[in-house]
Structure 1
């Protein structure tokens, strides 16, 4: 009888030794991350339509759409934070992989532990930014902060600040779960090496 615990790492059975990302998240979080990413994509499409409508109205009818500049500036921030967690899950965060790639080949246990440290640090950073962003959200609601000009176009700022907090929270949770998966993988690789495997 084959002992699959010696051949298949927990929660990462489909992941190659050189690929630390694209790992499955818990079901509920997976759909939340995917849903936020899809919402960001739809927002991009809506923004493109709005910009095109403004261009057509401005050049063809001398009737520009009001508030396009303000909405674009708010939208960029909102879209980034909506898609932040999925960017992390897919491994598209900017980072230098030279040392990590070498560690994966020569010392996979150390590589998994280093990635766990990276993910825990990222999670802590997201929580620090989340804490710092809470005050501006409360203040934005209190003073009814807006962009635009009275009598022309006004858009409240607090919805985008709220989206930032949601995105930061989900990204922090994703960082923590990836770190937990890294530690599980390191334990599995260490056990495999102790049992005579090729880890």
Structure 2
């Protein structure tokens, strides 16, 4: 049974419903899936490195650098879908009390929370975009020349794209919250 947007299985007001506008749920779902593929790739990479170290006494070069880059990329790929699905870590003790006593106020508070989240993600986009441009222009990399190098611009691009979609998701959630708060419907 599909739940009505704005109501969870317990009948409480909740921002995390369907559908998202602009097919945002499909785009963020694809990003989430690519992040999952990245996790599987990390699993393979780390295991190949372990076997290389243990059996052949020859580690896989660049494993540390690739893992550190990939973790950041995976987080930002999965961030918007995690937010939309309502799987962000949050303390619900206070909001549950407000939902029980004043659902419209709870929607307004959640809307404010989502506006602040959108602002933070917009700041991340604005902060990382110049770094992306710089990494692209100067050919920034991690690793050691002659041993292993990997460019940093792809991870910075993923950070910008993931933050932008997370900002857009926060905006969609805030609009839904404020719409419910104004209409007084769960």
Correspondence for 1:83: 78
Correspondence for 1:142: 137
Asked whether the equivalents of residues 7 and 14 of structure 2 are also in contact (C-alpha less than 8 Å), the reply is no
Pick one of 5, 8, 16 that aligns with 1:22.
Answer: 16
Correspondence for 2:181: 186
Asked whether the equivalents of residues 21 and 90 of structure 1 are also in contact (C-alpha less than 8 Å), the reply is no
Q: Distance in 2 between matches of 1:119 and 1:102?
A: 19
3-state SS, counterpart of residue 151 of structure 1: coil
Asked whether the equivalents of residues 54 and 65 of structure 1 are also in contact (C-alpha less than 8 Å), the reply is yes
* TM-score normalised to structure 2 length: 0.91
Correspondence for 2:126: 131
Cα deviation for residue 135 of structure 1 reads: 1.0
- CA displacement, residues 114-151 of structure 1 (integer Å, 9 cap, x when unaligned): 11111011101110111011111111111110011111
Asked whether the equivalents of residues 6 and 13 of structure 2 are also in contact (C-alpha less than 8 Å), the reply is no
Q: List alignment gaps of at least 5 residues for structure 1.
A: 1-10, 193-198
Q: Distance in 2 between matches of 1:169 and 1:149?
A: 32
Correspondence for 1:12: 5
Correspondence for 2:51: 56
* TM-score normalised to structure 1 length: 0.86
Q: Distance in 2 between matches of 1:97 and 1:63?
A: 49
Pick one of 26, 29, 32 that aligns with 1:34.
Answer: 29
Q: List alignment gaps of at least 5 residues for structure 2.
A: none
Runs of 4 or more, structure 1, over 3 Å off, are 13-17
- CA displacement, residues 68-113 of structure 1 (integer Å, 9 cap, x when unaligned): 0000000110011001111111222222222111010000000001
Q: Distance in 2 between matches of 1:40 and 1:12?
A: 26
Asked whether the equivalents of residues 53 and 65 of structure 1 are also in contact (C-alpha less than 8 Å), the reply is yes
Correspondence for 1:96: 91
Cα deviation for residue 188 of structure 1 reads: 2.8
Q: Distance in 1 between matches of 2:63 and 2:137?
A: 25
